[in-house]
Amino acid sequence: MKKRVLIKAMMRLGCALADYLILLLPVQLVMLGIMQLNSSSVDFLFRLLFAVYGVLMIEYNRGATLGKLVGKLMVVDRSGVKATMMYVGLRELVRSMYLIPVAGWIAGAVSVVMMFVNGRTLHDMVGNTQVIFRWEYEAPEEES
């Protein structure tokens, strides 16, 4: 069991890094280079966009961001079914707060430690969600 939590945690970190880079590079290029915004505005807008990206991708892309798709992971609620958009929104807002200097970085570090210890992060707790491997998901049967 411990090995499974470790593997999933490592996969989650890789997927989160992929999502961050997928969004960071184009957004920074457009906002700083083309739109010529100041760095504090870019920082705020990036955090907001990071949260919106997470919500929309999880809601409309089978529970996964682009990084999670590559890692064959998905976000579901604690009971194992599709998470509601409201809770995913709360989850992603907390997750985007990890990008705030010092306080957010500390919260992010605590979250990473929690992920390696029990498999859940602070943003999972706030959003009442969990991240599972795609093959663990059992879609609810549709009623005729």
Q: What is the DSSP letter of 78?
A: T
At 36, give phi and psi (nearest 5°): 60, 40
Q: What confidence tens digit (pLDDT) does each residue in 94-133 have?
A: 999 998 999 999 999 999 999 999 889 999 999 999 999 9
Q: What confidence tens digit (pLDDT) does each residue in 37-80 have?
A: 887 788 888 888 889 999 999 999 999 999 999 999 999 999 98
d(CA 71, CA 60): 17
pLDDT surpassing 70 at residue 84: yes
d(CA 114, CA 99): 18
Long-range CB pairs of 106-113 (<8 Å, 24+ gap) are 112/9, 112/13
Cβ–Cβ < 8 Å for 34, 20: no
Q: Which pLDDT belongs to residue 140?
A: 66
Task: Indicate the SS3 state at residue 130.
Answer: strand
In sequence order, what are the residues at sequence separation of 6 or more whose Cβ sits closer than 8 angstroms to the Cβ of residue 22?
Answer: 66, 67
In sequence order, what are the residues at sequence separation of 6 or more whose Cβ sits closer than 8 angstroms to the Cβ of residue 42?
Answer: 27, 28, 31, 32
Q: Which pLDDT belongs to residue 1?
A: 57
pLDDT surpassing 70 at residue 142: no
* C-alpha closest to that of 91 among 62, 61, 63, 133: 63
The single residue listed with the structure tokens 């602070």 is: 122
Q: What is the mean pLDDT of the chain?
A: 89
Q: What confidence tens digit (pLDDT) does each residue in 2-24 have?
A: 888 889 999 999 999 999 888 87
